[in-house]
Amino acid sequence: MSVTLRRPRRWLRVASAPLVTAFVTAGVLVGPAAVSTSTGCTTHNCDSDCVWVGAPAPDGSGCSAGTAPDARLYQASDVELVWESSPVTGTWIHFPGLRTYTLIWPTEMLQVLQAGGILQTLNVWISTAADNSAMSDATSTPASGLTAEVSGVSDFGFALTNGSCAEYYVRVEVHVVQPGGATPPADAGATADAGD
């Protein structure tokens, strides 16, 4: 089994400072004495790391092993298999800035995909808190852009990177159609009106 892990690139925010105006009058410096800066991604709270979930991290990769304790795989219909990293109202996975998760499919899903199943959808959501129950103050949204860079999608899994320096929690949901179970979209048989 071969999955290529792409280490995330490091982002560096250039510190911003107010325009400092100083005048030298007869050898005396006049003006603000201090310049304020913003740390952005220059602190260690935005160091990149990588975590493998579903399989041990390869030796020498520098990655650690992780888990998705609330992950579940279920049969959504006669032809559809669904894997989710956690239920919508469950505990989502911590997703700090510049972290890459390599998610390996569970054995049952690997077997379906390797037998000709089709990865139909891969959805990623991010949240401001791990607890997304009705009693939580958390907000969630479908992830996009730097907050969820998906790469290396294969029959074995995929990599998911938070390319920003912001701290989130993540939920992933994957739908697979079993071999021979693909159903055409509702409009697949419709013909377009050519305007004749």
Residue 7 lies in a domain: no
| Separation of alpha carbons 73 and 172, rounded Å | 12
> Is 16 exposed, middle or buried, given 0-12, 13-18 or 19+ CB atoms closer than 10 A?
exposed
User: Domain for residue 124, yes or no?
Assistant: yes
Q: What is the pLDDT of residue 23?
A: 34
Show the tokens assigned to 153. 């999608």
pLDDT of residue 25: 38
Question: Is 168 part of any domain?
Answer: yes
**Residue 164 forms part of a structural domain:** yes
- Evaluate whether residue 35 is within a structural domain: no
Residue 196 domain flag? no
Task: Judge contact between 133 and 81, C-beta under 8 A.
Answer: no
Residuewise pLDDT in 10s, the chain (196 residues) = 444 444 444 443 334 333 333 333 344 434 444 444 444 555 666 789 999 999 999 999 999 999 998 999 999 999 999 999 999 988 999 999 999 999 999 999 999 999 999 999 999 999 999 988 877 888 899 999 999 999 999 999 999 999 999 999 999 999 999 988 755 444 444 444 444 4
Which helix (H) or strand (E) is 113 found in, with range? helix 107-114
191 assigned to some structural domain: no
94, 143 Cβ separation under 8 angstroms: no
**Segments forming the whole domain that contains residue 117:** 46-177
Query: Which pLDDT score is estimated for 71?
Result: 94
In a domain, 128, yes or no: yes
Provide the 3-class DSSP secondary structure of residue 193. Answer: coil
Check residue 43 and give its pLDDT: 61
- Rounded Cα–Cα distance for residues 71 and 86 (Å): 5
φ, ψ of residue 95 to 5 degrees: the values are: -135, 70
The structural domain count of the chain equals 1
Backbone angles phi, psi at 66, to 5 degrees: -135, 180
- The pLDDT of residue 24 is 37
> Measured between alpha carbons, how far is 26 from 49 in angstroms, rounded to an integer?
54
**Can you give the pLDDT at residue 30?**
42
54: phi > 0 → left, psi -120 to 50 → alpha, else beta; which?
Answer: left
